[in-house]
Structure 1
Amino acid sequence: MPRFTRPTPRLALLAVIAAPLMVLATACGGAADGDTASEETFVLKVTDGANAGPLAVGKRDGTFDEALAPLGARVEWVEAAPSVSANLKLFSTGELDISEGAFSPVVGALSKDVDLKIVAAAEQGGQDQSGIIARPDSGIESVRDLEGKRVAVNPAAKGEYLTLLALEQAGVPVNSVERVPLQIKDGASAFSTGQVDAWASFNAPYQEAKANGAVELVNEGQLDSQDRKVLLVRGSVAQERPDVVAAFLSTLQELVLRQASEPADFQNVFTTTGPTALSGTRLEDAIAVGAQALPPVPPGEDEAEALEAVSRVFTENGVTPAQLSAEDVFLDLRPLVSPEQAAQIDLEAGQ
């Protein structure tokens, strides 16, 4: 396995990414030679951040386009489902190039030969925002009570990973629980109408279900989950324009640091009313989670071990055919870009 470097502390990262983004103009065939204006603009297709988070703020403020412009590139925002596993077709057809995600759906995606690479990862904050919940009328009070029951999971992704991990840790035979493969939107419907007894979910749908009386059996933090938040990219795009992807990554790092210091500004970014807006306790919880945000950094040895731990859970339970290693999916952008641009994302110093 190749050696992966480890990230620097947050202050060192701030010093790195605070460097003027204008150095990007000299990166990998960028605009320094004055030719970019005459070339066709490269379009990077990115998952729309909806109404919260760094992607939403970057869209609102034009931050990503400002960073990519010296490279002759711009962002096209793509409306997509709030889970990587539901967007695999978009990656396969070239309709989506880059997205935030997690280890678990990437492991599942690679078993389906989807061209995805992880270029950065971070510890997940707010692990109480995902887990397994049961209907209040189901009589289920613990993970052990799931034996003989039906649990909705988004397949080969976070929901199925958390369910398998929970069953393993509780000593419940995996085959004694029916895992019903449903993406988040369909899982919400099946759970609310009683078609399933329990649901492995995350983020807003999870919080909404709990607010409506669902019983939390276990959350991700209680499971010692090895999932990580990641920035994933279509491999062909990362190879064709690593300079553009690196510029996007360094800009995202800067936005995440802002989120940690100004978390309220990263909620209700476009609207304070409507289905994507938060209020009350849910807004307070989201702001608290935002304050814990860590910027994604080039993955190191700890992330490699975590990725392989997630893959083991899937492989041992027949979800994926073979154990995945870090070298199968991690892509180090630094050797592919100019020294100036590599300095924006090179976080080896200080360890």
Structure 2
Amino acid sequence: MRRAVATVLASTLLFAAAGCGGDDSGSATDGGPDKFKVGAIPIVDVAPLHLGIAKGFFSEQGMEIEVVNTTGGAAAVPGVVSGDFTFAFGNVTSLIVAKSQNLPLKAVAEGNSSTGQDGKDFGGVVVPKDSPITSAKDLAGKQVAVNNLKNIGDTTVRASVRKAGGDPAGVKFVEMPFPDMPAAIANHRVDAAWIVEPFFTTAKNQGAKVIASNFVDAAPDLTVAVYFTSEKVLKEKADLVKRFTAAIEKSLQYATDHPDEARAVLSKYTKIDAGVAEKMTLPAWPQKVNTASVQTIADQMQADGLIKDKFDVAQVLP
């Protein structure tokens, strides 16, 4: 847990140094729109956010957003705690770890969910095309890439290993950005990788084999990520939170109803080939969090030692 503790300490220091929000906390000083930053990883999961901005769903709520790219939920948490981001997109594991260590964070809206379909999800565990690995059971003793250590990737991959009858304790996880994973798999730099779209389709196009749908294995219709903010913003800018939540929920519904537009907007914030965008599997974008699925993840995190005590997700979910 040294890494998690270090993250918490860094976050706390950033929080104090930033004066709990500074000029990016969502205040309009001239009667114009509220201007603030949202931290988000540049993957397909956040297509509704970018689509909603393009469609004016946020501007009609009196907001002007700057999206700042992050590497994942673990990186987004310090940004929200420090006030660099007023809101951020992050997976539920990152938020549970942060809250269990008393960081003042709260989810405000659904982010994205698994499709719930084995073999037809927007991410999965892949291996090189000539790998002898045929199932998650074979990952024990192998090196598996995830975007952030001690996070939703390794938590759900362990779920796949358990379901396949293997021992998750023997898996060796290594941290690697999603964009680097297709080449790492193709060049055998790692034995396997947990990867999401659009890089998931890129890897498959290069011959990678899918051996597990880890989100599906972890929990039915898993809520993978949420949009969250600090308790300070919740308390002091309740109206801003209400408007942001309304805009993101409208964006989630629009992306669900217009999948072609969700695919197209990817070119605005990722370097994605049009052919990949056309073929890739989109996440589910419901408007509400599946609380039961997040509780299942929290229980798995405790079993894996990622958090010490049993965690009630009601304290962090909207």
Sort the TM-score into its range (normalised by shorter chain).
Answer: 0.7 to 0.9
Give the counterpart of 2:275 among 277, 280, 284: 280
Deviation at 1:144, TM superposition (A): 1.6
Asked whether the 8 Å contact 2:42–2:69 carries over to 1, the reply is no
TM-score scaled by length of structure 2: 0.76
Q: Does 1:96 align with 2:89?
A: no
CA gap 1:221/1:187 in 2 versus in 1, 3 angstroms: closer
Bigger Rg, structure 1 or 2: 1
Deviation at 1:124, TM superposition (A): 1.7
CA gap 1:253/1:309 in 2 versus in 1, 3 angstroms: same
Deviations along 1:270-294, whole A, 9 cap, x unmatched?
Answer: 858x9534423641435xx37x532
Structure 2 unaligned runs (5+)?
1-27
Q: Does 1:132 align with 2:119?
A: no
**Partner residue in 1 for 2:303:** 316
CA gap 1:64/1:222 in 2 versus in 1, 3 angstroms: closer
Distance (Å, rounded) in 2 between the aligned partners of 1:180 and 1:48: 22
Give the counterpart of 2:69 among 54, 77, 80: 80
Secondary structure, in 3 states, of the residue corresponding to 1:264?
helix
**Partner residue in 1 for 2:200:** 206
**Partner residue in 2 for 1:256:** 252
CA gap 1:99/1:123 in 2 versus in 1, 3 angstroms: closer
**Partner residue in 1 for 2:236:** 240
Identity level (%) = 20
Distance (Å, rounded) in 1 between the aligned partners of 2:41 and 2:181: 22
CA gap 1:208/1:126 in 2 versus in 1, 3 angstroms: farther
Q: Does 1:156 align with 2:150?
A: yes
Asked whether the 8 Å contact 2:127–2:192 carries over to 1, the reply is yes
Asked whether the 8 Å contact 2:93–2:298 carries over to 1, the reply is yes
Give the counterpart of 2:314 among 309, 324, 327: 327
Distance (Å, rounded) in 2 between the aligned partners of 1:250 and 1:109: 25
Deviations along 1:59-118, whole A, 9 cap, x unmatched?
Answer: 2233312212xxxxx333132125212323322322112133332232233345543211
Distance (Å, rounded) in 1 between the aligned partners of 2:59 and 2:76: 23
CA gap 1:195/1:49 in 2 versus in 1, 3 angstroms: closer
Asked whether the 8 Å contact 2:37–2:86 carries over to 1, the reply is yes
Distance (Å, rounded) in 2 between the aligned partners of 1:87 and 1:49: 8
Asked whether the 8 Å contact 2:128–2:191 carries over to 1, the reply is yes
Q: How does 1:302-313 map to 2 (within 5 A)?
A: 303-313=290-300
Secondary structure, in 3 states, of the residue corresponding to 1:79?
strand
CA gap 1:268/1:169 in 2 versus in 1, 3 angstroms: same
Distance (Å, rounded) in 2 between the aligned partners of 1:248 and 1:50: 20
TM-score scaled by length of structure 1: 0.69
Choose between structure 1 and 2 for higher RCO, CA contacts under 8 A separated by at least 6 residues. 1
